[in-house]
Structure 1
Amino acid sequence: MKKEGAIKRVSRALDPYLIDQNKIDRLKWCLEMLDPRSVPHNPVFKPLFDYIFIDEKWFNITRKTVRYYAAPTAASRIRTIQNKNFIPKIMILTAPARPRFDSNGNCTFYGKIGCFPFVTHTATKRSSVNRPAGTIEMKPIESITKEVIRNFMIEKVLLAVRAKWPREDADKPIYIQQDNARPHIAPDDRMFCEAAKQDNFNIKLVCQPANSPDLNVLDLGFFNSIQAIQYKSTSTTTEELVAGVDRAFQDYSVRRSNRIFLSLHACMREIIKVHGGNSFDLPHIKKGVLERQGHLPLQLRCDAKSVNDARVSLGTMADT
């Protein structure tokens, strides 16, 4: 039946369960992402050049099963670990922004703010066969609290933003978008707000709607991409894992990074069509083909009728 086309193979991941308030918040968020100058007749989404997306992800040193290619005469590679259910891993905070290009297609801003591993550097107390006492070792931070997140945001993320952000836009508002994980600090956190105003920067922290990983470019495709690159290298220590993830982040193509932002536009367009739900399949807009033809858009358009219907539906849901 599959060969005849009567059935097809379908792969579907689990989606977050949405309550009515989640749908309202998602719909309002997507409508606010429309460029107000284009509404109501020709709505297009904001280009999102002023947004930085942050999120955390666990990166494992290796996988339980690895597929690789070898010569027919090569011996089978032996991979060992003490307990395959406890593979060493590290949580890393990643912060990308949308890359920018000039009229000739040359990249003027790579958008790679940085990868920040949650680790500490401590001196070993005892000697072993691998190193003498006093050797500085990298250890993962096992408990990620609000204090840890606040310190990383102020001492690492904000510092990187001020160092790498285009100078011509340094005085304009910059939004750092995060999800609603419990360790994340509030947008009005006093210490963060004070640090965000240094050097005449205007950096604001915003939270995406709850249960909406599809509204963050990291969960939408960036994390999977850099993890796939990281798995191509071999890591045996914490230092090698951190270096491998950072190398994958830096080597990731800015062209592909730009496409993920267009995928975010397409995702918001579908959310508007289904009035805040997540029961949709992300459409293929052939970004690679459009880029080769020189017709890749900066902003995706949204149907004006869908926007009007969504506004009506939003009012009805809010009244209910």
Structure 2
Amino acid sequence: MFSFELLQKAMALFDLNIQQPFVTDLGFDMNQEPVHMFDLNVAAPVESVQRKDASEVVLNQVFQELLRRSKNGVLPRNATSEVAVMYNLGIRTVQRCWAEGKLSLDLGIMVSFASKKRGKCGRKPSPVNYERLRNVPLKERTTLEDSAKVLGVCKRTLLKHVKQGKVRRHTSSIKPHLTDENKKSRLQWCVDMLEHETLHDNPRFKSIFDHVFIDEKWFFITRKSERYYLLPDEDEPYRTCRSKNNIPKLMFLCATARPRFENGICTFDGKIGCFPLVTFERAKRSSINRPAGTMEVKPITSIKRDVVREFMIQKVLPSIKAKWPREDVNKPIYIQQDNAPSHIEVNDPMFCEAAQQDGFDIRLTCQPANSPDFNILDLGFFRAIQSIQYKKSAKTVQDLIPVVQEAFHEYPPCKANRMYLTLHQVLKETMKVHGSNKYNLPHMKKGTLERQGSLPVQVHCERSLVYEAMQKLATWNI
């Protein structure tokens, strides 16, 4: 039978008022407040996966993959999720990539996934008071160091502002001084260069296919200083000269006309000739370099009117008659020159007699005084061929002649053709400032237009500008 003593012992085991040893061993204290293992008021920590921004290359690959899966511009179900897993990207990133790319295709523009953070992230720049630079004389801000000191920034910060367009670098060149009479003649020249039959409808400048531009220029064997790009282990070039102010040079008389093209093929390059103003004499004495009797090149030290007349009649005119397009032989040809004292008169009898021979009608004209910007050669052609000439080696004056002539013929006719459009722009801007030479040439993007096959032959002019120029001329004539 179940005894009473066993019952008391069993009840004692479950007496909560008695401290039980096994409770202490397990580490639970019933006298303390209960501790909740799971607090519902505290959010459970979530492990965040931070992805780097997808690069432009990756986004392009994502868009190409989505295009491959799409049908008629519609993606199948779960396509964005699968592509997101494939490239380890967020689904929203893939969806945004698809939306932006599809919108670009609908608008007919190039799809681009370039980062939009450039220039909008990082430390904010410190404010700079640019008006402080305006109040400083120009002579005191000719270098980056001076300008940075005025603005209170370092040179590196100022250079960054220059690249951003907040401060601009300008090189000022001295231009010819113009009197009122010079401005009047320049403005009249610009109006005369317009096609008269288009003045009342859609004015445009003459194509100038019937003009030959001539001028003289000094060409030096080398420059005082040249810049080279060398490897770290290359030796630096060592150049010497007896006098930096007396570098050997030659004067050349150049004549050029506007190139002509037919279906994109050059039919006439416009290179009339590049003639050195030298004489050839035999050496009277022997030297280390050559024996007596050797033919030597002697520069013409004094360029006078008789010398220019001789070169015009014996060099320029025969070259024009030999190279001029046959279909325009019977049309007038105008040789434009500046007003240098050594140039011949427009009605020089010896020149006019030679110019009217062989069925040609060649006439001489003079551009306005103090107007080198109205001549193609001074406008840019001389500078272009000189840059080519400096890339060639010439040790003596005699070696300089073929070097300059090679540079003259190597210059591409397509680039020479662009200069004539630049001349049209010069005439147009001169009309805007009433004959002055204080103007800024706008960019036409001639290279882009030429690649697109839409380069114009003539530049148009607004009728209001023509009317304003004529009114100004009428005011001056009163």
TM-score, with structure 2 as normaliser: 0.66
Which structure has more relative contact order (CA 8 Å, sep 6+)? It is: 1
Q: Deviations over 1:161-184 (max 9, x none)?
A: 011001110110000000000000
Separation of aligned partners in 2, 1:31 and 1:295: 26
Separation of aligned partners in 2, 1:34 and 1:84: 46
How far does residue 40 in structure 1 lie from its aligned partner after superposition?
1.9
Match of 1:224 in 2: 383
Q: Deviations over 1:237-285 (max 9, x none)?
A: 1121111110011000100000000000000000111111111011111
Q: Which runs of 4+ in 1 moved over 6 A?
A: none
Structure 2 residue matching 1:54: 3-state secondary structure: strand
Match of 1:260 in 2: 419
Match of 1:234 in 2: 393
Q: Deviations over 1:47-67 (max 9, x none)?
A: 000000000000001111111
Match of 2:236 in 1: 76
Match of 1:244 in 2: 403
Match of 1:62 in 2: 222
Q: Deviations over 1:101-150 (max 9, x none)?
A: 01x11111010000011000000111111100000011110000000000
Q: Which range moves more in the overlay, 234-243 or 178-187?
A: 234-243
- How many residues align structurally? 318
Match of 1:305 in 2: 464
- Correspondence 1:176-191 to 2 at 5 A: 176-191=335-350
- Correspondence 1:94-133 to 2 at 5 A: 94-102=254-262, 104-133=263-292
Separation of aligned partners in 2, 1:250 and 1:316: 46
Match of 1:86 in 2: 246
State the one-letter code of the partner of 1:141.
Answer: I
Structure 1 residue matching 2:280: 3-state secondary structure: strand
TM-score, with structure 1 as normaliser: 0.97
1:37 pairs, out of 188, 197, 203, with 197
State the one-letter code of the partner of 1:55.
Answer: D
Q: Which range moves more in the overlay, 235-244 or 175-184?
A: 235-244
Q: Deviations over 1:178-212 (max 9, x none)?
A: 00000000010000000001101000000000000
Q: Which range moves more in the overlay, 202-211 or 279-288?
A: 279-288
State the one-letter code of the partner of 1:85.
Answer: N
Match of 1:206 in 2: 365
How far does residue 85 in structure 1 lie from its aligned partner after superposition?
1.1
Is contact 1:24–1:318 with CA below 8 Å preserved after alignment?
Answer: no
Which structure is higher in strand share? 1
How far does residue 20 in structure 1 lie from its aligned partner after superposition?
0.6
User: Which entry has the higher C-alpha Rg, 1 or 2?
Assistant: 2
State the one-letter code of the partner of 1:274.
Answer: V
State the one-letter code of the partner of 2:364.
Answer: L
Separation of aligned partners in 2, 1:74 and 1:296: 45
Separation of aligned partners in 1, 2:361 and 2:178: 33
1:282 pairs, out of 426, 441, 461, with 441
Q: Which range moves more in the overlay, 78-87 or 178-187?
A: 78-87
Q: Which range moves more in the overlay, 129-138 or 69-78?
A: 69-78
Separation of aligned partners in 1, 2:303 and 2:368: 22
Q: CA RMSD in A?
A: 1.0
Separation of aligned partners in 1, 2:168 and 2:196: 41
Is contact 1:123–1:137 with CA below 8 Å preserved after alignment?
Answer: yes
Separation of aligned partners in 1, 2:323 and 2:173: 36
